[in-house]
Structure 1
């Protein structure tokens, strides 16, 4: 039995299936992790959702920003609707079943046996893994509870931008959401810089990739993540970045998750569906 993790798919279903065929993924025996962003912008989001849902316990999926955006649209929040290509999901006959399944995915997946955690974007430097798990559980309870629609109508925004245990209510939930699903850069003291998306080396002074902040509390834990297509594949500082820009004509990458160092097993050229910008 093997465990594989795959980068951001964003509706590129054919590329996903070609990648899995190439690595010999066996849905009856192997496990498949997704770093999130199953949907949006690519040509076949609904098939990606159906594939992962059908895997049942053989799949581990964490929520990404595009997955939350789909849930927000379905809940009636039309903010940024014009930038979405999610009609195949929203008009599908099994729409409600798929959305219910997606809403019950976690923000953080932890495999104690393999000693690996998975998130979509990142963790602020103030959080150790215990704090991250607690914050993920708070947001998951909100998404899976009766008030999820209210959250999905209020989740967008960049403030607050710095962690405090005294944060409460929607401010606290929005900060947690932004860390797990949008974070790339922050300042050395942990202030989130959510507007900055460029590759390392092109960022403004004072902007540090979240995993390079000196003394970050999660540095002893191995973390696999996605979200950052301009970063590409990276394996350093105890993190493995898997978003290699399939949607933008890049590649779709898979690694084999092991108790030892993960192995990059394959990356597949993608035809691409959009031009950046």
Structure 2
């Protein structure tokens, strides 16, 4: 049995099929971890969701910012953007079932046996693993409850930019989601900068990539994330693995085998 963590899929269905063939993936034997952003921008979001859901317990997913966007669009809480490719998915007969499944997925997954934790954007240096788990669970409870629509309606904003244990309500939930699904650059105290999407070396003045600060988690526990294609899979930090290698931007789709940390890649079909 092997466990493969794969980077942002974003509707890149054909590449996912190629990658699964390359690693000789068998759901009865292997497990597939997905670091979030299953959908959008690529052409095959519907097929990606169908494939992942068909894997059942052999697949482990965490939610990304594009997944939250899809859930909000489906409820009429957000408008689609020019770059969105969600229409086919939203019009599918099985869309209600797929969206219901997506809303049940966590923001964080931790496996003690594999000594690995996975989120979409990472875990800020100001949080311990236990704290990150507890905060992710708070959001998951809202998303899976009858309060889901109200939760999503208040989710999409940048503030507050810095975590405080005193935050409550929508501000608290929004901060948790922004840290776990949108974070790239921050200050040492955890203050986020959510506009810049450049390479790590081009940090805004006063900020640095979140993984450049001393971590309370890695390298003791391996930390897996996606979200930041400009990194091209490089963090320069032991135990912190960047898996979004820009397949939807014409680069490649990457999988990391957790048992031996071997990388597997397939090129994007469209440049």
- TM-score normalised per structure 2: 0.96
Partner residue, 1:253: 254
Partner residue, 2:123: 123
Partner residue, 1:5: 5
For the Cα contact (< 8 Å) 1:73–1:81, is it kept in 2?
A: no
For the Cα contact (< 8 Å) 2:122–2:224, is it kept in 1?
A: no
Partner residue, 1:209: 209
For the Cα contact (< 8 Å) 2:203–2:209, is it kept in 1?
A: no
Given the superposition, is the C-alpha separation of residues 184 and 195 from structure 1 closer, same or farther in structure 2, using an over 3 Å criterion? same
Q: Give the Cα–Cα distance (whole angstroms) in 2 for the partners of residues 240 and 7 of structure 1.
A: 10
Q: Which moved more, 1:85-94 or 1:199-208?
A: 199-208
Partner residue, 2:261: 262
What's the RMSD between the two structures over aligned residues?
Answer: 1.3
The answer to whether the aligner puts 1:240 opposite 2:238 as a matched pair is no
Partner residue, 1:49: 49
For the Cα contact (< 8 Å) 1:212–1:237, is it kept in 2?
A: no
Partner residue, 1:111: 111
Give the match's secondary structure for 1:18: helix
Give the match's secondary structure for 2:202: coil
The answer to whether the aligner puts 1:63 opposite 2:63 as a matched pair is yes
CA displacement at 1:13 relative to structure 2? 0.2
For the Cα contact (< 8 Å) 1:10–1:37, is it kept in 2?
A: yes
Q: How many residues align?
A: 269
For the Cα contact (< 8 Å) 2:120–2:226, is it kept in 1?
A: yes
For the Cα contact (< 8 Å) 1:40–1:86, is it kept in 2?
A: yes
Q: Give the Cα–Cα distance (whole angstroms) in 1 for the partners of residues 238 and 228 of structure 2.
A: 16
* Superimposed CA distance per residue, residues 201-245 of structure 1 (whole angstroms, 9 cap, x where no aligned partner): 1222222111111x3323332111100000111262321000000
Structure 1's unaligned 5+ residue stretches are: none
Q: Give the Cα–Cα distance (whole angstroms) in 1 for the partners of residues 9 and 138 of structure 2.
A: 26
Partner residue, 2:14: 14
CA displacement at 1:80 relative to structure 2? 4.8
Q: Which moved more, 1:144-153 or 1:198-207?
A: 198-207
Partner residue, 1:218: 217
Given the superposition, is the C-alpha separation of residues 272 and 184 from structure 1 closer, same or farther in structure 2, using an over 3 Å criterion? farther
Q: Give the Cα–Cα distance (whole angstroms) in 2 for the partners of residues 69 and 217 of structure 1.
A: 30
> Where does structure 1 differ by over 3 angstroms across 4 or more consecutive aligned residues?
79-83
Structure 2's unaligned 5+ residue stretches are: none
* Superimposed CA distance per residue, residues 18-48 of structure 1 (whole angstroms, 9 cap, x where no aligned partner): 1110111112211000001000010010000
Give the match's secondary structure for 1:230: helix
